[in-house]
Amino acid sequence: MSQVLHPMLNTAVKAARAAGAIITRAAQDLDRVAVTSKSHNDFVTEVDHAAEEAIIKILLAAYPGHGILAEESGRTHGAKDSDYLWIIDPLDGTTNFIHGLPVYATSIALALRGQVQQAVVYDPTRNDLFFASKGRGAFLNDKRLRVSKRIRLLEALIGTGFPFRKGDNFKRYVTMFEEVMQSCAGLRRPGAAALDLCYVAAGWYDGFFETGLSPWDIAAGSLMVTEAGGLIGNFTGEADFLYQREIVAGNPKIYAQLVSILAPHTGVV
């Protein structure tokens, strides 16, 4: 990378690449990876744990006074009352990883008093590094990212994620799926929300929506989208989305059209 990165972003990049190395090594011999089930269709591997430990070790070595919120270990590491909170998903797309489907990533974000300031999403299978600093733009490797320019939902490619955990409202999702599918050019579901949001930032998708997501799935990707000129919010278009378990993102025109379809379905349990 030819750019000078913010020191905190630099540390996050180092941590993401370390996690990526662990994941790539394990991917070469998937038969040896131990898998456990957190609940129906919700898997965790020893690789998730090892990658998360590597990330936390690097972050806390550089910033011992910061807080940590990580998918597998929650808030057990780091300072409990810091204004700085690292939000980490060591392996987003674990189910894909277990099957050898090369769509997964490491996601690391740094929030200051609830606002994401630094973000890294690393796709180890393509060696693609997405990163953003608040106010300084979003990038893929050395290329500046901009959301797409499409203005009609009928011509738009939209990303989504299926609800898959016990307790998710599947009927509600199918209704939204049907409405969006009939209004756009195509719907895609690769299976890693952190990457989906980066694809919106890159203009590869025109929009994205999903329910049931946790903060670590979306924290880094959300900054990519806004720094690339896109919008992100909950189904009614409000910016308070990090802990809402529903999210919609897109270029400004497509975002508005998605919100008009999804708003009636907001918060329906």
Enumerate domains of the chain plus CATH numbers: 7-144 (3.30.540.10), 153-265 (3.40.190.80)
Average pLDDT value over all residues in the chain: 94
Residue 244 has pLDDT above 60, yes or no: yes
pLDDT value at residue 268: 57
**Residue 162: closest CA among 228, 109, 96, 100:** 96
Residue 92's CB is within 10 A of a number of other CB atoms, namely: 27
Phi, psi of 265, rounded to the nearest 5 degrees: -100, 5
- Residue 183 CA to residue 3 CA, distance in Å, equals 40
Phi, psi of 112, rounded to the nearest 5 degrees: -115, 115
Q: What tens digit of pLDDT does each residue of 182-241 get?
A: 999 999 999 999 999 999 999 999 999 999 899 999 999 999 999 999 999 999 988 888
